[in-house]
């Protein structure tokens, strides 16, 4: 039986291009974003832009050959300068380029900086953003309660839908991760937003946690684990009521999963994780390390998986089919794409 490739186009929504700190003022970098080559750059004054990599006039790859010049990116050879919105700012003197070229545009993606990431809006039909992602508490400069921020990046050989569907697949937690399953509540769905809450029994020294981060007291504990998604690109996770010592509870864990569909076979996940200072020294690092390593168990499965259009489920219209119904809203018809 041949491998079934994922049948849907690049999804619509806000997706992460890179981290805020990865592009300094005056710097530009190439990325593949939703099957397109793009240039992400920051002007001298600090404004960020994510633009089609190919100069709208000459086709020169701005991510490779362009240079940030003041508030624009300069396409070499003709000295055409592009504003951050993709409009033409200036044509090089004596370049021989007709002044009508001032009307030409290079496609610029709506973009924003939030939660420590640079996000760009992708819509297959180039429609404007129709939802927002929120500022997530703990990732926008609030430091009094939170410990150090830990960053991870994963390149995964599958699409975001397959990765997200994994969390809905309760059966895989004990089998793949050797951890208790997460008996999540029925998902709360409101348009592009999806939320699940799980009362989870946790083993602080579970199989995913590196030896060096094992805690002295390996007692199991229960935490309330909330997962919120804004489309397929932004997920926020929150655990509360974590043990601070044998009798005190109230530690917290937060995480943002900022994802990017690279193309129909590759995705990049960027994770930021933090715990409150009261559990930072021991339990917090065990949780962070366990989560960071847990995804490594899933990766060999994703690398080789075939897409199954209609999984047979024990209980009829189970969570996977409900998840697929929710996710279907993020795909436009490729036949309508220009
Ligand atoms: Fe997993």
CA dist., res. 34 & res. 31, Å (int): 10
Burial label, 47 (beta-carbon count in 10 A; 0-12, 13-18, 19+):
middle
- State how far the alpha carbon of 131 is from the alpha carbons of 11, 91, 114, 128, 233, in Å: 14, 36, 14, 9, 12
Helix axes 160-168, 283-304, angle to 10 degrees: 120
- Classify 107 as helix, strand or coil: coil
Closest by CA position to 35, among listed 57, 58, 53, 49: 53
For residues 230 and 121, what is the distance between their CA atoms, to the nearest angstrom?
13
Ligand 1 midpoint to CA 320 (Å): 14
What is the predicted pLDDT for the residue at 310? 73
Cα 17 to middle of ligand 1, angstroms: 24
For residue 21, the CA-to-ligand 1 centroid distance in Å is 29
DSSP string, 138-198: TSSS--SSB---EEEEEEESS-HHHHHHHHH-TTHHHHHH-S----BPPPEEETTEEEEEE
In the prediction, which pLDDT does 156 show?
96
pLDDT tier at 337 (50, 70, 90 boundaries)?
Answer: confident
Ligand 1 centroid – CA 174 distance (Å) = 9
Burial of 192 (0-12, 13-18, 19+ CB in 10 A): buried
pLDDT at 286 over 70: yes
Distance 31 CA to ligand 1 centre (A): 27
pLDDT band for position 142 (cuts 50, 70, 90): confident
> What is residue 207's three-state secondary structure?
coil
Taking the C-alpha atoms of residue 53 and residue 31, their distance in angstroms, rounded to an integer, is 9
30, pLDDT greater than 90:
yes
Using the 8-state DSSP alphabet, how is residue 2 labeled?
P
Q: 311 Cβ partners below 8 Å, 6+ apart?
A: 320, 321
Alpha-carbon gap, residue 217 to 204, rounded angstroms: 8
pTM: 0.95
Q: Give the residue from 191, 167, 170, 197 showing the smallest Cα distance to 181.
A: 170
Closest CA to 168 of 7, 34, 278, 318: 318
Q: What is the pLDDT of residues 53-72, one digit of tens each?
A: 999 999 999 999 999 999 99
- Could you tell me the strand order of the sheet in which 150-156 lies? 150-156, 266-275, 249-263, 234-243, 221-230, 193-202, 188-190
Q: Which residues pair with 273 in a beta bridge?
A: 150, 255
- Residue 32 · residue 263 · CB < 8 Å: yes
Chain position carrying tokens 């004054």? 45
Give the Å distance between the CA of 166 and the centre of ligand 1: 6
CA atoms of 214 and 205, how far apart (whole Å): 5
CB distance 273 to 285 below 8 Å: no
Ligand 1 centroid–CA 169 distance in Å is: 8
Q: How remote is the CA of residue 171 from the centroid of ligand 1, in Å?
A: 10
Tell me the CA–centroid distance for residue 242 and ligand 1, in Å. 22
Distance 293 CA to ligand 1 centre (A): 10
Q: List, for residues 229-260, the tens digit of each pLDDT value.
A: 999 999 999 999 999 998 999 999 999 999 99
Cα of 167 vs centre of ligand 1, distance in Å, is 6
The pLDDT value recorded for residue 166 is: 87
pLDDT at 311: 66
């Amino acid at each position: 039986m041949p491998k079934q490739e994922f049948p849907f186009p690049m999804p619509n929504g806000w997706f992460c291009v890179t981290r805020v700190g990865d592009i300094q003022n005056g710097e530009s970098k190439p990325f593949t974003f939703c099957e397109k080559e793009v240039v992400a750059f920051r002007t001298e004054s600090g404004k960020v832009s994510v633009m089609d990599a190919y100069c709208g006039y000459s086709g020169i790859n701005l991510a490779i050959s362009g240079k940030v010049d003041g508030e624009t990116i300069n396409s070499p050879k003709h000295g055409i300068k592009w504003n951050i919105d993709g409009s033409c700012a200036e044509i090089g003197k004596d370049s021989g380029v007709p002044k009508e070229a001032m009307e030409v545009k290079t496609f610029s993606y709506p973009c924003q900086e939030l939660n420590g990431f640079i996000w760009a809006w992708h819509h297959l039909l180039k429609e404007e953003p129709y939802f927002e992602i929120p500022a997530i508490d703990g990732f926008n400069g609030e430091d009094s309660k939170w410990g150090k921020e830990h960053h991870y990046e994963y390149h995964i050989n599958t699409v975001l839908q397959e990765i997200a569907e994994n969390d809905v697949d309760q059966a895989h937690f004990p089998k793949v991760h050797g951890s208790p399953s997460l008996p999540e509540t029925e998902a709360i769905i409101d348009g592009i937003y999806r939320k699940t809450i799980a009362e989870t029994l946790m083993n602080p020294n579970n199989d995913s946690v590196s030896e060096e981060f094992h805690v002295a007291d390996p007692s199991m504990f229960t935490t309330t684990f909330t997962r919120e998604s804004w489309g397929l690109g932004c997920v926020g996770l929150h655990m509360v009521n974590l043990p601070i010592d044998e009798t005190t509870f109230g530690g917290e864990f937060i995480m943002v999963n900022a994802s990017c569909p690279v193309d129909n076979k590759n995705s990049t996940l960027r994770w930021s994780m933090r715990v409150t200072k009261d559990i930072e020294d021991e339990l917090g690092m065990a949780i962070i390390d366990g989560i960071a390593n847990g995804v490594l168990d899933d990766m060999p499965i994703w690398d080789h998986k075939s897409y199954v259009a209609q999984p047979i489920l024990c209980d009829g219209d189970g969570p996977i089919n409900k998840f697929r119904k929710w996710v279907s809203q993020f795909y436009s018809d490729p036949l309508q794409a220009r």
